[in-house]
């Protein structure tokens, strides 16, 4: 496959043998680039700016930015200068949606989340841009995709491209390697010999030999099964160890012996926000997209959202940057202990101490943070200032944090606003929306940031004069119809008082999936009547003995696990755990009313409520037409899965009496299931009639039940009895077979 375009020339100087034939086996150039430092592992080549993948990369000569346009199935090639123009942007069509890019001398590596089947590609092309002119107007109905078709995949890919002078400085594909579906994260070892690739939905990490990529050779060294949703990759400076972050949960995966024949995986504990966790509790975490290792290879930083961290008005927890001391494998944040009057704040060149009664107190809140990160999405380490630059997806900004402290999220140094042109209510940016990828120049004076919801490239002069640091370039138009495109912007944004209240949809539903968390839906009475809202932990309600003006002891806290939404919203309704909402619009409004202050925005007395409802309609359009489900390889069931399918469809098990295959594996009715044991930290449900959930993509959305009481599908089947259908007759092998089949749905 040959793909070419005109870009600023880089690599490919001194190529021998004339113009190569356009084939995947044709060797690319390995010549160095003038003006850049030499790669110490290979003196004939220029050093890469970075070998850690991101949604944006700089070529070694720093003249060109390469952007992974995931929502456009393309690479965008942009001159990395201050005055770049839209007409200079080139688009390179790809066989599927790219996630991350690494640019080396004479070689570009790209992860592709899915190579869709022919049927899936047709379905995806219908809903992905560029949208016809007649769809670029308000009121255009969303095109509801069929998730059973759109999900079909031939696998994920690692693609290798070489620059080629014969194609006028363009890129041509020289090699590809099929990996597990949802290939996402990418990093290359310092010697350029191996790449580490995560496959998010598949829960796999692949180690790939890329030493022969320029000659058209990619070879898989090993594939390792890991915990769900592996995402970012950070490789140690010696190239022997890789750390994998996860979208769900607190632990990392550590890959050792990366340079050997048989790399091995193990769990690396990294508790979330332990300095801001109530005594006797543990918090969960989500949004672990971007692990970063400092220049010395001593500290790993992981920006993410700590579900339950304490702070003023921290109803849903707080952003954190958890730090790992690599030599010892232990967290650098100090845990809160009873009676401790102070905690070490910094560990660079001798600890400083912060006297803070609330920091280590048994009662009360931890310190709040201002101008901080909301929905951390990408990060880079800045050696010259010992800071982190973190893309704050929810508030459309880049925040510089002091990396010398145990939790850099507590110490913002500077904020670089990127979003602009907000609507009347400040709900979404018309430019600079949802920064999702960042790369730093070699001298660390310039940061390039790609903004996913508005398709813009921001260039930040970090040492420039205030007010003159930012330049913007619109890279591409959104390919979705007008209303759905606005919905995309609303989905990521956390600024709206009505639709988010400080945390965007993409925080709890990253990629339309779930954060793996069981929230507390608090019900209480305040002046004006009964109301409710979400909390990350029950302990967060204890503020002066009152909760939103109501006595704490009067509030009830019900378990509500975050549901996956991508590919599950095609039907008209009903929605909600109890089937209490007649359609998607009704469910979204009910959900937003659980956020801070929203019961006032959604009241009939609010003169702007019509505007808010219109925005919810835009959001619903995006959820149904733009938020694609995870890719799944179409294959024949094995013997165990076939046996499980027979059990699932049997009259004795009764699974299909409620999970109807013809209607997305649900009958959308509510049934009284009998009371489950109430888990600690929650109150007993008053209503035990729950709507039959769809089983689509159930294999990747643990834990299960509304309260998350079943950690795995095996646990669910083993302990079901006759609560849902009847599995009491199943032997252990039958139970395993049924669980195996459920994982294929």
Q: What pLDDT does residue 597 have?
A: 47
- Beta bridge partners of residue 252, listed in sequence order: 268
Kind plus residue range of the DSSP H or E element containing 125: helix 118-127
pLDDT digits (tens, 9 = 90+) for 213-230: 999 999 999 999 999 999
Domain 1-115+154-238+252-260 falls in which CATH fold?
Answer: Neuraminidase (2.120.10)
Q: What mean pLDDT comes out for the span 429-438?
A: 94
Strands (E), 258-375: 264-268, 284-286, 292-293, 299-307, 318-325, 330-331, 342-344, 353-355
Report d(CA 596, CA 593) in Å as an integer. Answer: 8
Q: What mean pLDDT comes out for the span 533-561?
A: 66
Q: What pLDDT does residue 286 have?
A: 93
Report d(CA 590, CA 44) in Å as an integer. Answer: 61
Kind plus residue range of the DSSP H or E element containing 375: none
pTM for the model:
0.89
pLDDT digits (tens, 9 = 90+) for 301-336: 999 998 877 665 566 778 899 999 999 999 998 776
Q: How many CB atoms lie within 10 A of CB 477?
A: 14
Which residues, in sequence order, are CB contacts of 355 under 8 Å at separation 6+? 341, 342
Q: How many CB atoms lie within 10 A of CB 728?
A: 10
Tokens 């919905």 belong to which residue? Answer: 487
The pLDDT of residue 640 is above 70: yes
The CATH code of the domain at 636-742 is 1.10.760.10
- Beta bridge partners of residue 108, listed in sequence order: 103, 161
Which residues, in sequence order, are CB contacts of 280 under 8 Å at separation 6+? none
SS3 for 278?
Answer: coil
pLDDT digits (tens, 9 = 90+) for 23-56: 332 333 333 334 467 777 777 788 888 999 999 9
Cα distances from 271 to residues 93, 322, 335, in angstroms, run 41, 8, 10
The pLDDT of residue 738 is above 80: yes
pLDDT band at 528 (very low <50, low <70, confident <90, very high): low
pLDDT > 70 fraction of the chain, expressed in percent and rounded: 80
* Backbone phi and psi for residue 92, each to the nearest 5 degrees, phi listed first: -110, 110
Q: What pLDDT does residue 217 have?
A: 96
Q: What is the 3-state secondary structure (H, E, C) of 384-423?
A: CCCEEEEEECCCCEEEEEECCCCCHHHCEEEEEECCECCC
Q: What pLDDT does residue 314 have?
A: 66
The pLDDT of residue 349 is above 70: no
SS3 for 315?
Answer: strand
Q: Are 209 and 146 in contact (CB under 8 A)?
A: no
pLDDT band at 170 (very low <50, low <70, confident <90, very high): confident
pLDDT digits (tens, 9 = 90+) for 355-391: 343 433 333 344 444 457 889 999 999 999 999 999 9
Q: Which is it for the CA torsion 202, 208, 212, 214, positive or negative? A: positive
Q: What pLDDT does residue 600 have?
A: 53
Q: What pLDDT does residue 10 have?
A: 43
Kind plus residue range of the DSSP H or E element containing 702: none
How many CA atoms lie within 13 Å of 698's alpha carbon, on the beta-carbon side?
Answer: 26
pLDDT band at 561 (very low <50, low <70, confident <90, very high): confident
pLDDT > 90 fraction of the chain, expressed in percent and rounded: 41
Q: How does DSSP assign 145-193, residue by residue?
A: --HHHHTEES-EEEEEEEEEGGGTTEEEEEEEEEESSSEEEEEE-TTSS
Q: What is the 3-state secondary structure (H, E, C) of 561-593?
A: ECCCCCCCCCCCCCECCCCCECCHHHHHHHHHC
pLDDT band at 491 (very low <50, low <70, confident <90, very high): very high
The pLDDT of residue 20 is above 80: no
CA 326 to chain centre: 24
pLDDT digits (tens, 9 = 90+) for 565-606: 998 888 888 888 888 888 888 888 877 777 654 455 555 555
Give the domain ranges of the chain: 1-115+154-238+252-260, 269-476, 497-625, 636-742
Report long-range pairs for 539-542 (Cβ below 8 Å, ≥24 apart): 539/278, 539/281, 539/308, 539/310, 540/308, 540/310, 540/314, 540/315, 540/317
Q: What pLDDT does residue 23 have?
A: 32
Question: 198-202, 405-409, 535-539, 644-648: which has the highest mean pLDDT?
Answer: 198-202
Asked, as a colleague might, if the bond just before 50 is cis with ω within 30 of 0, I would say no
The pLDDT of residue 608 is above 60: no
Which residues, in sequence order, are CB contacts of 329 under 8 Å at separation 6+? 268
Q: Which is it for the CA torsion 287, 509, 205, 95, positive or negative? A: negative
Structure tokens at 190: 């310092």
């Amino acid at each position: 496959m040959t793909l070419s375009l005109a870009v600023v020339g880089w690599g490919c100087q001194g190529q021998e043998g004339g113009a190569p034939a356009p084939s995947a086996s044709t060797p690319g150039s390995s010549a160095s680039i003038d003006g850049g430092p030499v790669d110490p592992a290979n003196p004939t080549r220029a050093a890469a700016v970075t070998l850690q993948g991101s949604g944006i990369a700089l070529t070694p000569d720093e003249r060109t930015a390469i952007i992974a346009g995931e929502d456009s199935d393309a690479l965008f090639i942009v001159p990395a200068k201050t005055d770049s123009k839209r007409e200079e942007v080139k688009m390179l069509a790809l066989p599927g949606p790219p996630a991350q890019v690494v640019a080396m001398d004479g070689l570009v590596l790209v992860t592709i989340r899915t190579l869709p089947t022919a049927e899936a590609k047709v379905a995806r092309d219908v809903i992905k841009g560029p949208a016809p002119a007649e769809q670029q107007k308000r009121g255009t109905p969303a095109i509801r995709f069929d998730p059973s078709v759109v999900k079909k995949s031939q696998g994920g890919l690692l693609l290798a491209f070489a620059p080629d002078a014969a194609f006028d400085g363009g890129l041509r594909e020289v090699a590809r390697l099929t990996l597990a579906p949802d290939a996402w994260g990418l990093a290359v070892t310092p010697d350029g010999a191996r790449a580490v690739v995560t496959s998010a939905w598949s829960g796999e990490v692949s180690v790939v030999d890329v030493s022969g990529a320029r000659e058209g050779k990619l070879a898989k060294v090993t594939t390792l099964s890991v915990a769900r949703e592996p995402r970012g990759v950070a490789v140690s400076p010696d190239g022997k160890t890789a750390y994998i972050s996860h979208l769900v949960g607190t632990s990392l995966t550590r890959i050792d012996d990366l340079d050997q024949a048989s790399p091995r995986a193990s769990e690396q504990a990294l508790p979330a926000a332990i300095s801001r966790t109530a005594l006797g509790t543990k918090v969960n975490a989500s949004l672990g997209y971007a692990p970063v290792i400092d220049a010395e290879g001593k500290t790993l930083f992981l920006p993410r959202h700590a579900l339950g961290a304490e702070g003023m008005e921290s109803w849903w927890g707080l952003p954190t940057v958890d730090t790992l001391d690599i030599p010892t494998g232990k967290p650098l944040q100090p845990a809160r202990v009873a009676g401790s009057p102070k905690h070490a704040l910094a560990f660079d060149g001798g600890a400083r101490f912060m006297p803070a009664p609330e920091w280590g107190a048994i009662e009360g809140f931890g310190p709040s943070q201002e101008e901080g990160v909301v929905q951390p999405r990408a990060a880079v380490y800045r050696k010259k200032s010992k800071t982190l630059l973190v893309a704050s997806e929810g508030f459309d900004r880049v925040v510089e944090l002091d990396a010398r402290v145990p939790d850099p999220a507590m110490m913002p140094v500077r904020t670089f606003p990127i979003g602009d042109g907000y609507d009347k209510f400040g709900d979404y940016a018309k430019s600079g929306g949802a920064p999702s990828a960042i790369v730093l120049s070699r001298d660390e004076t310039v940061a390039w940031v790609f903004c996913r919801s508005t398709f813009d490239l921001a260039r930040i002069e970090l040492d420039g004069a205030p007010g003159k640091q930012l330049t913007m370039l619109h890279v591409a138009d959104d390919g979705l119809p007008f209303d759905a495109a606005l919905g995309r912007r609303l989905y990521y944004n956390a600024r709206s008082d009505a639709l988010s209240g400080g945390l965007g949809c993409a925080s709890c539903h990253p990629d339309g999936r779930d954060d793996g968390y069981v929230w507390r839906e608090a019900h209480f009475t305040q002046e004006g009547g009964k109301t409710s809202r979400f909390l990350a932990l029950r302990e967060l309600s204890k503020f002066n003995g009152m909760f939103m003006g109501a006595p704490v002891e009067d509030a009830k806290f019900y378990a509500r696990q975050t549901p996956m939404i991508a590919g599950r919203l095609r039907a008209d309704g009903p929605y909600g755990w109890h089937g209490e909402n007649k359609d998607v619009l009704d469910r979204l409004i009910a959900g937003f009313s659980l956020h801070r202050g929203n019961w006032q925005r959604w009241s009939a007395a609010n003169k702007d409520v019509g505007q808010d409802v219109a925005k919810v309609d835009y959001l619903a359009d995006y959820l149904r037409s733009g938020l694609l489900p995870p890719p799944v390889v179409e294959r024949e069931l094995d013997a165990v899965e076939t046996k499980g399918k027979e059990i699932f469809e049997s009259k004795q098990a009764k699974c299909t009496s409620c999970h109807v295959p013809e209607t997305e594996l649900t009958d959308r009715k509510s049934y009284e299931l009998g009371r489950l044991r109430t888990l600690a930290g929650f109150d007993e449900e008053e209503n035990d009639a729950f709507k039959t959930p769809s089983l689509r993509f159930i294999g990747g959305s643990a834990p299960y039940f509304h309260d998350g009481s079943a950690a795995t599908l095996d646990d669910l089947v083993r302990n079901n009895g006759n609560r849902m259908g009847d599995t009491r007759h199943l032997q252990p092998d039958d139970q395993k077979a049924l669980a195996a089949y459920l994982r294929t749905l």
